[in-house]
């Protein structure tokens, strides 16, 4: 029996730059989210975590988006919550 993957809140999108997202992170541990798949509230997979930086308690997260995701779509994510699997 396959378990359904449970998503966890990653944080809120602050900026979109060159098809990359900068997210203000929540309380997830940095070592556990590197290379994690990132998705929107409606469960659309948009990229992977490639960097975690800033303060330890509330770090910022860099996300490289998957090919084919349009910049217009990404700009709509500003100030929205995103999640990791």
Query: Comparing C-alpha atoms, which of 61, 57, 63, 60 is closest to residue 27?
Result: 57
The answer to whether residue 3 sits within a structural domain is no
Count the domains in the chain: 1
Half-sphere exposure (Cβ direction) of 28: Cα atoms closer than 13 Å: 25
pTM of the full predicted structure?
0.84
Mean pLDDT of the chain: 87
| Contacts of residue 76, Cβ cutoff 8 Å, sequence gap at least 6 | none
Average pLDDT score over residue span 28-50: 89
Tell me if 83 sits within 8 A of 10, measured CB to CB: yes
The answer to whether residue 31 sits within a structural domain is yes
The answer to whether residue 25 sits within a structural domain is yes
The string of pLDDT tens digits covering residues 49-71 is 999 998 888 889 999 999 999 88
């Amino acid at each position: 029996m396959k378990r359904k993957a449970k998503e966890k809140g990653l944080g809120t999108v602050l900026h979109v730059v060159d098809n990359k997202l900068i997210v203000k992170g929540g309380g997830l541990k940095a070592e556990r989210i590197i290379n994690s798949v990132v998705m929107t509230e409606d469960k659309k997979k948009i990229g992977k975590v490639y960097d975690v930086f800033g303060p330890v308690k509330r770090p910022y997260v860099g996300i490289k988006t998957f090919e084919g995701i349009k910049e217009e779509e990404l700009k709509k994510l500003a100030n929205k919550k995103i999640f990791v699997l």
